[in-house]
Structure 1
Amino acid sequence: MLHHISLGVTDLQRSAAFYDAALAALGYVRVWTDSSAIGYGLPGGGDKLAIKLRKEGAVPPGPGFHLAFAASSRDAVAAFHRAALAQGGRDNGAAGLRPEYGPHYYAAFVVDPDGHAIEAVINEPV
């Protein structure tokens, strides 16, 4: 259904360092860059996420909104969480099973430097 999503950020370099590290743990890379935005996706593909500089009025969506990234393994979920925290993210739930979402739902939750709630998840049996 979704083609891509964009998030407004107040400091492009800080956000780029955060998303470069967190998304690399999931196998995603920069697929384009310009002076005010960066797109991320699978190597050789188009962007699925763009971060865009919005110095004035950059406010994250309120409670109830979060963005979940697909992970290829539980190890990738844990690596995403570690990388995000190392780059200034705030812990919002360590890597682990979330039985309230299903018996195989394994996720980690962080808040990016601009306050966007993000998640890495794999929902498959081990």
Structure 2
Amino acid sequence: MLHHVSFGVSNIERSAGFYDAALAPLGYVRVWEDLRPGEADQAVGYGVAGGGDKLALKLRPKGQRPPGPGFHLAFAAPNRQSIEQFHAAALVHGGRDNGAPGPRPDYGPHYFAAFVIDPDGHHIEAVFNAPG
């Protein structure tokens, strides 16, 4: 249904470093970039290697705010170990813990996830929802 989602970020270099590290364990990479230090309208896109972007970060140094309560973006993970790596990398690169890696039985019998808040306040999740 969705083609991609964009987040406004206040510091494109910091955010790109955060998402490079946090998304790598999930198998997502930077698929394009338009970085021109000191200029407006810089952006970076993430997705699977060789594909298009599913997440775009757009520099919005003034007036950037994450969506309100209730909004978060969940990334599909290939396994439980990748979720642990996602969470650890996110915290090392400026993210805040919003739910350690672990089972979420209230969401389903196989739901395993971790939640973090990125440096700009966007709530993100990595989830694996299959047996084992």
Shift, 1:110, TM fit: 0.1
State the Cα RMSD in Å: 0.4
Q: How does 1:1-126 map to 2 (within 5 A)?
A: 1-35=1-35, 36-126=42-132
Paired letter, 2:90: A
Q: Following superposition, which runs of at least 4 residues in structure 1 exceed 6 angstroms of deviation?
A: none
Find the residue that maps to 1:21 and give its secondary structure: helix
Structure 1: runs of 5+ lacking an equivalent: none
Find the residue that maps to 1:79 and give its secondary structure: helix
Find the residue that maps to 2:15 and give its secondary structure: helix
2:38 counterpart residue number: none
- Normalised TM-score (structure 2): 0.95
Q: Distance in 1 between matches of 2:27 and 2:11?
A: 23
Shift, 1:2, TM fit: 0.2
Q: Distance in 1 between matches of 2:129 and 2:62?
A: 37
Q: Distance in 1 between matches of 2:92 and 2:68?
A: 24
Structure 2: runs of 5+ lacking an equivalent: 36-41
Shift, 1:25, TM fit: 1.1
- Normalised TM-score (structure 1): 0.99
Shift, 1:56, TM fit: 1.0
How many residue pairs match? The answer is 126
Q: Distance in 2 between matches of 1:100 and 1:117?
A: 19
Q: Give CA deviations for 1:23-42 in whole Å, capped at 9, x if unaligned.
A: 00101000000020000000
Q: Give CA deviations for 1:62-113 in whole Å, capped at 9, x if unaligned.
A: 1100000000000001000000000010000000000010010000000000
